[in-house]
Amino acid sequence: MNIVTIEPPHYLKTVVKKCWYANIQHTEHQNKSYKILADGAPGIVFQHCNGESSLVNTDGYQFPISFVYGQKDNSPCVNSFQGNPFIFGVDLQPTALKKLFAINASAITNSIVESEHLFSKEFIDQLLHAPSPQQIAQLFHLQLCKKLLKSKQDKIIDHSIKLIFEDTKGANSHDLSTRFHISRRQYQRKFKEHLGVSPESYMRIIKFQKSLHLLKTKQYSKLSDIGFSLNYADQSHFVREFKLFSNCTPKEFLSKIQSIQSFHPQTFETMRIISN
Protein backbone atom coordinates (compact mmCIF):
# COMPACT_ATOMS: atom_id res chain seq x y z
CA MET A 1 0.00 0.00 0.00
CA ASN A 2 1.62 3.23 -1.21
CA ILE A 3 0.88 6.22 1.05
CA VAL A 4 1.08 9.69 -0.45
CA THR A 5 1.02 12.77 1.78
CA ILE A 6 -0.08 16.30 0.91
CA GLU A 7 1.09 19.17 3.09
CA PRO A 8 -1.61 21.69 4.00
CA PRO A 9 -1.27 25.38 3.07
CA HIS A 10 0.37 27.47 5.78
CA TYR A 11 -2.90 29.14 6.78
CA LEU A 12 -4.37 25.76 7.81
CA LYS A 13 -1.44 24.43 9.82
CA THR A 14 -3.03 25.44 13.12
CA VAL A 15 -5.77 22.87 12.47
CA VAL A 16 -4.37 20.42 9.89
CA LYS A 17 -1.22 18.31 10.23
CA LYS A 18 -1.38 16.83 6.76
CA CYS A 19 -3.56 15.06 4.22
CA TRP A 20 -2.80 11.62 2.83
CA TYR A 21 -4.28 9.11 0.42
CA ALA A 22 -3.87 5.55 -0.78
CA ASN A 23 -5.39 3.02 -3.09
CA ILE A 24 -5.67 -0.20 -1.11
CA GLN A 25 -5.07 -3.29 -3.19
CA HIS A 26 -5.78 -6.64 -1.59
CA THR A 27 -5.01 -10.11 -2.81
CA GLU A 28 -6.57 -13.26 -1.40
CA HIS A 29 -3.45 -13.74 0.73
CA GLN A 30 -3.48 -10.27 2.28
CA ASN A 31 -5.11 -9.33 5.57
CA LYS A 32 -7.68 -6.55 5.30
CA SER A 33 -7.97 -5.70 9.01
CA TYR A 34 -6.36 -2.68 10.65
CA LYS A 35 -5.88 -1.90 14.32
CA ILE A 36 -6.69 1.68 15.32
CA LEU A 37 -4.49 3.09 18.08
CA ALA A 38 -4.94 6.20 20.22
CA ASP A 39 -2.66 8.95 18.93
CA GLY A 40 -3.87 12.13 20.63
CA ALA A 41 -5.67 13.74 17.69
CA PRO A 42 -8.92 13.59 15.69
CA GLY A 43 -9.22 13.41 11.91
CA ILE A 44 -11.37 13.03 8.82
CA VAL A 45 -11.67 9.99 6.56
CA PHE A 46 -13.14 9.82 3.05
CA GLN A 47 -13.21 6.31 1.59
CA HIS A 48 -15.13 4.39 -1.02
CA CYS A 49 -15.04 1.58 -3.54
CA ASN A 50 -17.04 2.45 -6.65
CA GLY A 51 -19.01 5.05 -4.73
CA GLU A 52 -19.91 2.80 -1.82
CA SER A 53 -18.44 2.60 1.67
CA SER A 54 -15.80 -0.10 2.00
CA LEU A 55 -14.99 0.18 5.71
CA VAL A 56 -16.61 -1.98 8.41
CA ASN A 57 -15.88 -2.72 12.06
CA THR A 58 -15.79 -6.10 13.79
CA ASP A 59 -19.54 -5.88 14.52
CA GLY A 60 -20.30 -5.49 10.84
CA TYR A 61 -21.16 -1.77 11.09
CA GLN A 62 -20.50 -0.05 7.77
CA PHE A 63 -18.94 3.36 8.18
CA PRO A 64 -20.17 6.39 6.24
CA ILE A 65 -18.29 7.25 3.06
CA SER A 66 -16.87 10.24 4.90
CA PHE A 67 -16.71 10.81 8.65
CA VAL A 68 -14.95 12.81 11.33
CA TYR A 69 -13.50 10.76 14.17
CA GLY A 70 -12.78 12.03 17.66
CA GLN A 71 -10.03 11.29 20.12
CA LYS A 72 -9.50 7.70 21.11
CA ASP A 73 -8.62 7.18 24.77
CA ASN A 74 -8.98 3.45 25.29
CA SER A 75 -7.92 0.09 23.84
CA PRO A 76 -7.64 -0.24 20.06
CA CYS A 77 -10.44 -1.28 17.75
CA VAL A 78 -10.13 -3.23 14.52
CA ASN A 79 -11.71 -2.15 11.24
CA SER A 80 -11.62 -3.86 7.85
CA PHE A 81 -11.77 -2.78 4.23
CA GLN A 82 -13.80 -4.66 1.65
CA GLY A 83 -12.69 -4.69 -1.96
CA ASN A 84 -9.98 -2.35 -3.22
CA PRO A 85 -11.00 1.11 -2.02
CA PHE A 86 -9.55 4.57 -2.31
CA ILE A 87 -8.99 6.27 1.04
CA PHE A 88 -8.23 9.91 1.80
CA GLY A 89 -7.48 11.24 5.26
CA VAL A 90 -7.07 14.60 6.94
CA ASP A 91 -4.91 14.48 10.06
CA LEU A 92 -6.18 17.22 12.34
CA GLN A 93 -4.40 19.02 15.15
CA PRO A 94 -5.53 18.03 18.68
CA THR A 95 -7.85 21.04 19.18
CA ALA A 96 -9.23 21.19 15.63
CA LEU A 97 -12.73 19.87 16.37
CA LYS A 98 -13.49 22.79 18.67
CA LYS A 99 -11.84 25.36 16.41
CA LEU A 100 -13.38 24.20 13.15
CA PHE A 101 -16.81 22.98 14.15
CA ALA A 102 -17.43 24.83 17.45
CA ILE A 103 -18.44 21.58 19.13
CA ASN A 104 -17.52 20.06 22.45
CA ALA A 105 -14.84 17.60 21.34
CA SER A 106 -15.76 15.15 24.11
CA ALA A 107 -19.09 14.55 22.33
CA ILE A 108 -17.34 12.33 19.78
CA THR A 109 -14.51 10.84 21.85
CA ASN A 110 -14.20 7.16 20.85
CA SER A 111 -16.84 7.84 18.22
CA ILE A 112 -17.48 9.36 14.79
CA VAL A 113 -19.89 11.78 13.16
CA GLU A 114 -20.89 11.61 9.51
CA SER A 115 -19.16 14.38 7.55
CA GLU A 116 -22.33 15.63 5.92
CA HIS A 117 -23.54 16.75 9.38
CA LEU A 118 -20.48 19.01 9.74
CA PHE A 119 -20.03 19.96 6.08
CA SER A 120 -22.90 19.14 3.70
CA LYS A 121 -24.19 16.33 1.51
CA GLU A 122 -23.27 18.44 -1.52
CA PHE A 123 -19.67 18.54 -0.33
CA ILE A 124 -19.52 14.73 -0.10
CA ASP A 125 -20.89 14.53 -3.64
CA GLN A 126 -18.12 16.88 -4.75
CA LEU A 127 -15.54 14.58 -3.15
CA LEU A 128 -16.98 11.56 -4.96
CA HIS A 129 -16.77 13.31 -8.31
CA ALA A 130 -13.36 14.93 -7.83
CA PRO A 131 -11.01 13.78 -10.61
CA SER A 132 -7.87 13.45 -8.47
CA PRO A 133 -6.60 13.25 -4.86
CA GLN A 134 -5.15 16.73 -5.29
CA GLN A 135 -8.60 18.03 -6.15
CA ILE A 136 -10.01 16.30 -3.05
CA ALA A 137 -7.33 18.00 -0.95
CA GLN A 138 -8.24 21.38 -2.44
CA LEU A 139 -11.92 20.80 -1.64
CA PHE A 140 -11.09 19.99 1.98
CA HIS A 141 -8.71 22.93 2.25
CA LEU A 142 -11.39 25.33 1.00
CA GLN A 143 -14.05 24.01 3.39
CA LEU A 144 -11.71 24.01 6.40
CA CYS A 145 -10.45 27.50 5.59
CA LYS A 146 -14.02 28.84 5.61
CA LYS A 147 -14.65 27.25 8.98
CA LEU A 148 -11.33 28.41 10.42
CA LEU A 149 -12.16 32.04 9.59
CA LYS A 150 -15.08 31.80 12.03
CA SER A 151 -13.17 29.99 14.76
CA LYS A 152 -12.17 31.20 18.21
CA GLN A 153 -8.71 30.46 19.53
CA ASP A 154 -7.89 29.39 23.06
CA LYS A 155 -4.27 30.21 23.83
CA ILE A 156 -4.38 28.44 27.20
CA ILE A 157 -5.13 25.05 25.65
CA ASP A 158 -2.78 25.54 22.69
CA HIS A 159 0.04 26.48 25.04
CA SER A 160 -0.82 23.55 27.32
CA ILE A 161 -0.39 21.06 24.48
CA LYS A 162 3.02 22.50 23.68
CA LEU A 163 4.07 22.22 27.33
CA ILE A 164 2.83 18.62 27.59
CA PHE A 165 4.82 17.59 24.51
CA GLU A 166 7.92 19.29 25.82
CA ASP A 167 7.70 17.81 29.33
CA THR A 168 5.53 14.69 29.27
CA LYS A 169 7.23 13.32 32.38
CA GLY A 170 6.62 16.33 34.58
CA ALA A 171 3.40 17.83 33.23
CA ASN A 172 0.28 17.68 35.41
CA SER A 173 -3.04 19.48 35.41
CA HIS A 174 -2.46 21.10 38.81
CA ASP A 175 0.75 22.85 37.73
CA LEU A 176 -0.73 23.78 34.35
CA SER A 177 -3.88 25.29 35.85
CA THR A 178 -1.76 27.25 38.32
CA ARG A 179 0.42 28.51 35.48
CA PHE A 180 -2.65 29.91 33.70
CA HIS A 181 -4.25 31.25 36.89
CA ILE A 182 -7.46 29.25 36.72
CA SER A 183 -8.84 26.54 38.99
CA ARG A 184 -7.87 22.96 38.30
CA ARG A 185 -11.51 21.96 37.73
CA GLN A 186 -12.06 24.82 35.29
CA TYR A 187 -8.84 23.92 33.47
CA GLN A 188 -9.80 20.24 33.20
CA ARG A 189 -13.26 21.15 31.88
CA LYS A 190 -11.83 23.53 29.30
CA PHE A 191 -9.19 21.00 28.21
CA LYS A 192 -11.74 18.21 27.73
CA GLU A 193 -14.05 20.50 25.77
CA HIS A 194 -11.25 21.35 23.33
CA LEU A 195 -9.49 17.98 23.07
CA GLY A 196 -12.18 15.47 23.95
CA VAL A 197 -10.21 13.91 26.80
CA SER A 198 -9.00 15.06 30.21
CA PRO A 199 -5.46 16.41 30.60
CA GLU A 200 -4.53 13.24 32.46
CA SER A 201 -5.82 10.98 29.66
CA TYR A 202 -4.08 13.07 27.03
CA MET A 203 -0.77 12.84 28.89
CA ARG A 204 -1.13 9.06 29.06
CA ILE A 205 -1.77 8.90 25.31
CA ILE A 206 1.27 11.05 24.54
CA LYS A 207 3.47 8.93 26.79
CA PHE A 208 2.21 5.83 24.97
CA GLN A 209 2.97 7.45 21.61
CA LYS A 210 6.46 8.38 22.78
CA SER A 211 7.05 4.81 23.94
CA LEU A 212 6.02 3.58 20.46
CA HIS A 213 8.52 5.96 18.92
CA LEU A 214 11.33 4.75 21.21
CA LEU A 215 10.51 1.13 20.40
CA LYS A 216 10.28 1.76 16.68
CA THR A 217 13.55 3.68 16.54
CA LYS A 218 15.33 1.32 18.96
CA GLN A 219 16.30 4.12 21.35
CA TYR A 220 16.87 1.89 24.37
CA SER A 221 19.30 -0.70 25.69
CA LYS A 222 16.62 -2.69 27.49
CA LEU A 223 12.85 -2.27 27.62
CA SER A 224 12.92 -1.00 31.18
CA ASP A 225 14.87 2.04 29.91
CA ILE A 226 11.73 3.23 28.11
CA GLY A 227 9.53 3.06 31.19
CA PHE A 228 12.17 4.90 33.21
CA SER A 229 12.73 7.61 30.60
CA LEU A 230 8.99 8.36 30.44
CA ASN A 231 8.58 8.41 34.23
CA TYR A 232 6.32 5.38 34.60
CA ALA A 233 6.16 4.23 38.23
CA ASP A 234 7.87 0.94 37.34
CA GLN A 235 8.19 -1.57 34.52
CA SER A 236 4.86 -3.23 35.38
CA HIS A 237 3.11 0.13 35.10
CA PHE A 238 4.69 0.75 31.70
CA VAL A 239 3.65 -2.68 30.39
CA ARG A 240 0.08 -2.27 31.70
CA GLU A 241 -0.30 1.14 30.07
CA PHE A 242 1.20 -0.04 26.79
CA LYS A 243 -1.11 -3.05 26.70
CA LEU A 244 -4.14 -0.88 27.49
CA PHE A 245 -3.59 1.24 24.39
CA SER A 246 -2.27 -1.45 22.04
CA ASN A 247 -3.65 -4.80 23.24
CA CYS A 248 -0.13 -6.16 23.26
CA THR A 249 2.96 -5.92 25.43
CA PRO A 250 6.06 -3.99 24.30
CA LYS A 251 7.78 -7.31 23.54
CA GLU A 252 4.82 -8.47 21.44
CA PHE A 253 4.81 -5.14 19.63
CA LEU A 254 8.48 -5.55 18.73
CA SER A 255 7.80 -9.01 17.34
CA LYS A 256 5.10 -7.59 15.05
CA ILE A 257 6.81 -4.37 14.04
CA GLN A 258 8.04 -5.76 10.74
CA SER A 259 4.44 -6.24 9.61
CA ILE A 260 3.31 -2.71 10.48
CA GLN A 261 1.52 -0.87 7.72
CA SER A 262 0.36 2.69 8.21
CA PHE A 263 -2.12 4.85 6.39
CA HIS A 264 -0.17 7.85 7.58
CA PRO A 265 2.67 8.77 9.95
CA GLN A 266 1.57 10.34 13.20
CA THR A 267 3.16 12.29 16.04
CA PHE A 268 6.67 11.06 16.83
CA GLU A 269 6.64 9.13 13.52
CA THR A 270 4.58 6.33 15.04
CA MET A 271 1.92 4.28 13.34
CA ARG A 272 -1.72 4.89 14.09
CA ILE A 273 -3.08 2.00 12.08
CA ILE A 274 -1.36 -1.34 12.36
CA SER A 275 -1.98 -4.32 10.13
CA ASN A 276 -3.58 -7.12 12.09
- How deeply is 207 buried, as exposed, middle or buried, from its count of CB atoms within 10 A (0-12, 13-18, 19+)? buried
Report pLDDT digits (tens) over 104-159.
999 999 999 999 999 999 999 999 999 999 999 999 999 999 999 988 888 999 99
Architecture of domain 155-255: Orthogonal Bundle (1.10)
Rounded Cα distance, 207 and 201, in Å: 10
Mean pLDDT of the chain: 89
Provide the 8-state DSSP code for 268. G
In CATH, the number for domain 4-148 is 2.60.120
pLDDT band at 26 (very low <50, low <70, confident <90, very high): low
Q: What is the mean pLDDT of residues 171-179?
A: 93
What is the residue extent of each domain of the chain? 4-148, 155-255
Q: What is the mean pLDDT of residues 154-174?
A: 90
- Strands 43-48, 66-69: pairing is antiparallel
pLDDT at 267: 33
> Residues 206, 209, 210, CA angle at the centre, nearest 5°?
85
Report pLDDT digits (tens) over 194-217.
999 999 999 999 999 999 999 999
Output the CA–CA distances (angstroms, integers) from residue 114 to 45, 57, 121, 192, 227, in the order listed. Answer: 10, 15, 10, 21, 38
Higher pLDDT, 261 or 46: 46
How much is the pTM?
0.89
pLDDT at 2: 81
Higher pLDDT, 32 or 112: 112
Give Cβ neighbours of residue 149 (< 8 Å, ≥ 6 apart): none
Phi, psi of 184 (to 5 degrees): -60, -40
